[in-house]
């Protein structure tokens, strides 16, 4: 095999490797976006879950005060 033929073979293989690496990078970036989206959704659910009890207590106290005011008249 001549030196020019070998260099062409190396260049072709490098081009295929670069194409493969670019595909892997795109896939990784897409997975990162999906992972970030899921992480954000989980965090918002956790915030909602931990905010529910104080909100529920406040609503019950408000309802109790309102009922007490209505019954006390």
SS3 content of the chain, % helix, strand, coil (to 5): 95, 0, 5
CA distance 40 to 22: 27
Dihedrals phi, psi of 2, to nearest 5 degrees: -75, 165
- Provide the token pair at 32: 């990162």
Residues counted in the chain:
73
**Window from 36-40, 43-47, 48-52, 57-61 with minimum mean pLDDT:** 48-52
Q: How many CB atoms lie within 10 A of CB 3?
A: 7
Q: What is the pLDDT of residues 10-46, one digit of tens each?
A: 999 999 999 999 999 999 999 999 999 999 999 988 8
């Amino acid at each position: 095999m001549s030196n020019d033929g070998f260099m062409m073979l190396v260049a072709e293989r490098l081009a295929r490797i670069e194409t493969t690496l670019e595909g892997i990078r795109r896939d990784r970036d897409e997975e990162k976006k999906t992972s970030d989206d899921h992480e954000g959704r989980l965090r918002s659910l956790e915030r909602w879950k931990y905010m529910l009890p104080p909100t529920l207590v406040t609503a019950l106290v408000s309802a109790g005060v309102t009922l007490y005011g209505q019954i006390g008249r």
